[in-house]
Every structure is written in C-alpha cells, then in structure tokens.
Amino acid sequence: MIWWPVKGIALSVLLVARRRHWWWILTAFAAGLMLSEEGDTPLQLLAVGACNTLEVVCTAWVLPPFRTMDKWLAQPRVASRFMFMVVVFGPASASLLSFVYREPGAPRWINAVRWGGEDMLGTILFTPLLLALLSPELWGLFRPAALPKTLGLLALLGGSSWLVFHQNQLPLSFVLYPIILLLGTQLGLSGAVIGIDMLAVIATLASLQGLGPFGSPEGSEAITRLLVLQIYLTLAVAMTMPVSVARVRRLTTEAQLLRAWKKMADLASLDGLTGVANRRQFDTTLDREWARARREGSPLALLMMDVDHFKKFNDNYGHLAGDACLRSVAAAIRSIPCRPADLVARYGGEEFAILLPGSDTAGARLIADMARRAVWELSIAHLLSPSERVTISIGLASMVPARAGEATELIAAADGALYEAKRNGRDRVEVAIEEGVAAR
C-alpha cells in the first residue's frame, strides 16, 4: 500500500471536533485499529493502537482547531507545524512499530519505511482534503463565476499528470510542480489539494502497473521507486502549503487595506461632530447630481435648514450642550425615511442640508415637514426661544437645471427661502420661486 488514509481521517475529525470530545473519538479510533488487525498477538495489537493513537493526538494537539481553511492557514506557523508533525514525527512514531511488529521474512527497515511512508502520505493527502471539504472556501471555487477557472486548472493538472505517468521514455515528473504551485496561488489550498489527490491517484495506479517515472518491476527496486513516489507526492503538498499561506496573508492584507481605505474615505466625507456628510461631500454630490439633472432634464431639490436661535442656546447652555444639540438634530433629520440617493449633510455651523435628486417641490415639501416635525419632537429645552424648545427653519428649492445654469443657483434659492422662513417667525418651511431656471 502506498498510502494509508485512516490517520488522516482521524486527524481531520480531531481538528474539527472540540477537545472535550476527543476521548470518545480516540477510543473509537484505537478500537477500530486493533479490530482491523487479524492474527496478531495482544502485544502487537496494543502496540499498533498505542503508537497510532499517540501520533494522531499529538499532531492534533500541536495544530490549531479548524473552522475554515483561510482562518486555519492564517494561524502562526501552521504550515511548518503540520509538515513537521506529519513528515517527521509521524513516520518516526510509525517506525517504532517495526521493533514489536514484524512481518515474517521482511527486514525491519522495510517495515519501518513502508509503515512510515504509508502513514505520512495518507495523512498529508487526506487531512487537507477533508478539511477543504468542510470549508466554505472550497465551495466558493465552484460558483458559476469561478467554475471555468477552477475546472480549467484542475483539467490542466489532471491531463498533464496522465501524460507524465503513462509513458516511460522521459522523466517528466518535475513539470507538474509548477502547475501545482499555480493551483496553490490561484485556488488556494482547498483547490490545490483536490488537484494533488487527483495526481496521487493517477501516479499510484500508473506506477503499480510499471508505468511512468516511478514504475518498476517487483522486488527491492519497486520498493525504492514507490518510496520515491511517496516523497514526490509529499513534496507536492509541502510546496503548496506555504504558497497557500502566503496567498491567504496577501488576501487578508488586501482586505485590511481596503477596509482602512474605506474608513479613511468615510472619515474624509463625514462631519466629525454629527456623523452626517460634511461640506466637502455635499459640494461634490451637488455638482454630480446637478450635472445629472441637467443631462436628464429631471428636477433637483435642496432643503437648507438652520437651528433657530442657536447662538442663544450656546450662550445659555454652553458649548458642550450645543454640540449635543447638533448631534441630536442631525440624528433626527437622518432618521427621516429617505431614498439611497438622498444626502443629509452639515452645511456649516448650525446649518444642515438635504439634497433630493429627482424630487419636485411637492415631494421635497413632505421631507421638509417631516424634518421640522422630527426636531420639534426631540423636545430639547431652549428657554430663550419663543417655543421654549429647539426648532429649525427650512428653505426649500426645487429646479430643473437650465443648460447654462450653475449649482450655486439652487443653493442661493434655498438660502433665500431659508431667510424668508426666519423672517416670518422661524420653525416653518418656505418654498423658493427662482427666476432664470425652470422651477417646479
């Protein structure tokens, strides 16, 4: 046998299971191993169960628990720990069996090499494969968008493997390593282990038939060549794991940089006190929406809002209370049901604005009334105001931009309406009628 998958399966189960359940899993594993051996002495059965169980539990203890493949590979030194336990510790543990368990007529070193190689290759092939099958990263490779790439790379490795291992003229086994590395960089470990296991099946079947670089007649030369095949397949996984770890770290770093960039962009476009859009974001959005409205011939509405008697509020209650008042007013305005394209912004000081693309006067008036009512219902005490609570005045303008018009005309119209709202007693909405551009 070239590989023995039982230990790889047991290791996968332990990595996925919680440690408080290990006792039952290991008991079942050891019992299954001893029952599968026929004609052995009690000492031999005990040696088989003890050595194999010790190897599996030590390897699982050293490795981090498994939840998803990307998170598992992101753990510190997981690749080096896995390779050391499987390639060094595992074969060394298995070779101990050769001193108590010896097949008649077989040299002890052959048993040690055979058992060590079988265990090593079975674990290194099947543990990553079973973990990949349990990870969502693998199934992401078979989404419709990723499927052509995944199947293309797997077909490239499968076809190349068949060609290499079904001819004896040229030793071409090395040409498969670059393809395996390509799978690791493009598909990650989850995709690469599928390709490597496919390679292992093709290489094993061909070698047992005497084909390919490692095929040979029966005898000691066959044992040597099969040992080389085991090393060849082990190196395939050994190369892929560091590449996959590097890929995970690169993707993680890119995601962190993207989140940091988005956070910086948000900070650059948000008002630090109130959390709504700042003046820079307002100006940028206004220019963009004005150009779109002029191009499409659609209306664009603007509400300019001012907190009534805010200077008196600050002088009477203090700047900290004034900041808290502005935050509450901004939250109340932002709570109004708006469309995704609408923008709530702090225009400056105690002045706020709402930009309403595609909204005519009637639609904008509904939003303005809701904003004024939302601030009124905050019931923030303001004894120096006629209403004895914090209120806002709103100026409304809605226009279909003329071809030669500028966005400043909309601001001027809304500002003029806001001035009228203040002059007429505050805590009210006034609508502008602008000359020179089409008004609605």
308 with 355, same domain? yes
C-alpha–C-alpha distance, residues 350 and 356, integer Å: 20
207 with 286, same domain? no
The answer to whether 405 touches 411, Cβ cutoff 8 Å, is: no
181 with 66, same domain? yes
pLDDT digits (tens, 9 = 90+) for 273-315: 999 999 999 999 999 999 999 999 999 999 999 999 999 999 9
Per-residue model confidence (pLDDT) at position 436: 37
Low-confidence ranges of the chain (pLDDT < 70): 1, 35-41, 43-44, 94-115, 216-222, 404, 434-440
Per this entry, what is the length of the chain? 440
Residue 426 lies in a domain: yes
In the structure encoding, which two tokens stand for residue 55, read together?
């190897």
Residue 180 lies in a domain: yes
247 with 296, same domain? no
Residue 268 lies in a domain: no
397 with 358, same domain? yes
318 with 245, same domain? no
Residue 335: partners with Cβ closer than 8 Å, 6 or more residues away:
374
Per-residue model confidence (pLDDT) at position 209: 86
49 with 196, same domain? yes
Per-residue model confidence (pLDDT) at position 102: 53
**If you average pLDDT over every residue of the chain, what do you get?**
87
Per-residue model confidence (pLDDT) at position 27: 87
Written as one letter, the residue type at 295 is: R
Residue 264 lies in a domain: no
206 with 287, same domain? no
Residue 399 DSSP SS3? strand
Q: Provide the domain limits for residue 422.
A: 279-439
Residue 194 lies in a domain: yes
Residue 269 lies in a domain: no
CATH number, domain containing residue 422 = 3.30.70.270
86 with 178, same domain? yes
Written as one letter, the residue type at 62 is: V
C-alpha–C-alpha distance, residues 335 and 371, integer Å: 9
C-alpha–C-alpha distance, residues 222 and 215, integer Å: 7
Residue 156 lies in a domain: yes
147 with 199, same domain? yes
Domain count, the chain: 2
Residue 273 lies in a domain: no
